Structure 1
Amino acid sequence: MPKQASHKLQTHRLDLSRGLREAAAEVCRRVPDLGHVDVEQVQFALFYSRRAQRVLTYARCYPLPTGLRRIRKRWYRLTTVHTEAGLEARYILAFAWTRFWTLEPRERLEVLVHELYHISPDFNGEPRKFATGSWHGPGRDWFDRQVRFMSEKYLPRRLENQFPALSVRLHDGLKVSGQRLQVPHWVAIAPDAQEVAS
């Protein structure tokens, strides 16, 4: 991460991770299809990526499945991720610094709804499953229409202005903090545990 961006994330003024969690809690309270999401078990993180700037990535959802996975005859588990409260996270919602904050506040709210909608109704660390097998169901356009419908029906205009993390404007003097994204990875379990798992 460039030094300038790193400095901005370390200087505490507006905690974007906490602010996004607060906004997500209100969204999930209002939108029936998102009522299963426990935001206290979701980590809200920030990431910086030159590729994200190029391909117009604003945010990402990282499911955190529990249990073991068999990969090439060996068993692996996913590294544990914790929320700010110390709870084991079921998901990570990561937002691109600074690209996400170049959007208009209402667009930021819709991106937040989009990422929350990827969370399984079972809240089990898996992505929402569709019959097509795709994260976006029949297609990205269809998925975006669902997000827009939920946003327009359940989230009144100017709701986004109640949350500084969604409404703040970027400027030179802005000082923010936030949880840095640390992407989890699969690690092989000990040899003796491999035998038990098999």
Structure 2
Amino acid sequence: MTGTRNRSLPLELRWDARRPLPARWVLPDGSRQQLRERPAATAFDFCGRMRTLCADVAARCEELRHIHMPRVLVTFTPSRNRSRYGLQARVTPLRFRDGSLTRRHGPTDYQVQRFFVNGSEMLYVLTFCLPRFLDQPFHEKLVTVFHELYHVSPRFDGDLRRHPGRYTVHSHSKDLYDSRMAELVKDYLTEHPKPDVFRFLRSGSRELWDNHGGITGFVVPRPKLLPVGVASARSAARKLESEVR
């Protein structure tokens, strides 16, 4: 990611009313023939419903109350195949360790592309692989949601939660990590006063499609890691040279 091509990419991507977030259909069967005469306005808004669910999870789970969903961009990426196995979801931090905007590697500073939606800067991109994620069992879907949200730093500074030791992302045991997520899911579901907020997860992609006349969601480019230090140093050198002249 340090080539000339990446240096020409924008350091910021912005979406607003004039340039809205790009929406795409989620295709349960992978065929675009089923899109004929389907109005997107009446389709199931996966990202909107998932954002509402995540906000509810953050409000009700003590360990996740630091998450502020208006600064988390919820998106999806299309499944590459029909297998149930593979990527289910991921959370992408838009900052480095301790929330730093740049990180130095050798003589060069690097920055993750900054994302802005309606003027608000995003700190994380939460991405679900669809329709694969929707076709998992209900409980596994909720565990995946908690799993990804738990990765968000307790300081909500754009960095990931870091555990002590060698395995900083999932602690020393991924199984124990997932077991803890299952416990959080159990507590969340117990006597939940508004089960409608997660009811959609009880349906697979085909059922949601048929019941709502389609499924849509936002798809954005994966944030790129771009060099900024070298370009800045060269610009400063050129400016100094012109002043000397």
Is the shorter-chain TM-score for this pair beyond 0.5, marking a shared fold? yes
Superimposed CA distance per residue, residues 138-186 of structure 1 (whole angstroms, 9 cap, x where no aligned partner): 1110100110111112332776653355234322644111111421011
- Residues 1:123 and 2:156 are matched in the alignment: yes
CA contact (8 A) 1:16 1:176 kept: yes
CA contact (8 A) 1:121 1:128 kept: yes
* Matched residue SS, 2:226: strand
- Whichever of the two has the greater Rg, that structure is 2
Which letter maps to 1:37? I
* Matched residue SS, 1:130: coil
Which ranges of structure 2 fall in alignment gaps of 5 or more residues? 1-23, 25-29, 237-245
Shift of 1:114: 0.7
Among candidates 97, 121, 131, match of residue 88 of structure 1: 121
Shift of 1:50: 2.2
1:29/1:189 CA distance change after superposition, 3 Å: same
Q: C-alpha separation between the residues in 2 aligned to 1:55 and 1:110? A: 15
Q: Tell me what 1:139 maps to.
A: 173
- Residues 1:99 and 2:132 are matched in the alignment: yes
CA contact (8 A) 1:20 1:166 kept: no
Q: C-alpha separation between the residues in 1 aligned to 2:51 and 2:112? A: 23
Among candidates 215, 224, 243, match of residue 176 of structure 1: 215
Q: C-alpha separation between the residues in 1 aligned to 2:217 and 2:187? A: 30
Which letter maps to 2:216? S
Alignment of 1:11-160 (within 5 A): 11-12=40-41, 13-50=43-80, 53=83, 55-65=85-95, 66-83=100-117, 85-134=118-167, 135-156=169-190
1:100/1:170 CA distance change after superposition, 3 Å: same
1:102/1:55 CA distance change after superposition, 3 Å: closer
Among candidates 151, 154, 162, match of residue 197 of structure 2: 162
Q: C-alpha separation between the residues in 1 aligned to 2:189 and 2:232? A: 48
1:90/1:133 CA distance change after superposition, 3 Å: farther
Which letter maps to 2:198? F
1:137/1:29 CA distance change after superposition, 3 Å: same
Which letter maps to 1:73? P
1:62/1:192 CA distance change after superposition, 3 Å: closer
Report the RMSD for the aligned CA atoms in angstroms. 3.1
Q: C-alpha separation between the residues in 1 aligned to 2:82 and 2:225? A: 23
* Matched residue SS, 1:81: strand
* Matched residue SS, 2:121: coil
Q: C-alpha separation between the residues in 2 aligned to 1:52 and 1:143? A: 27
* Matched residue SS, 2:144: helix
1:104/1:46 CA distance change after superposition, 3 Å: same
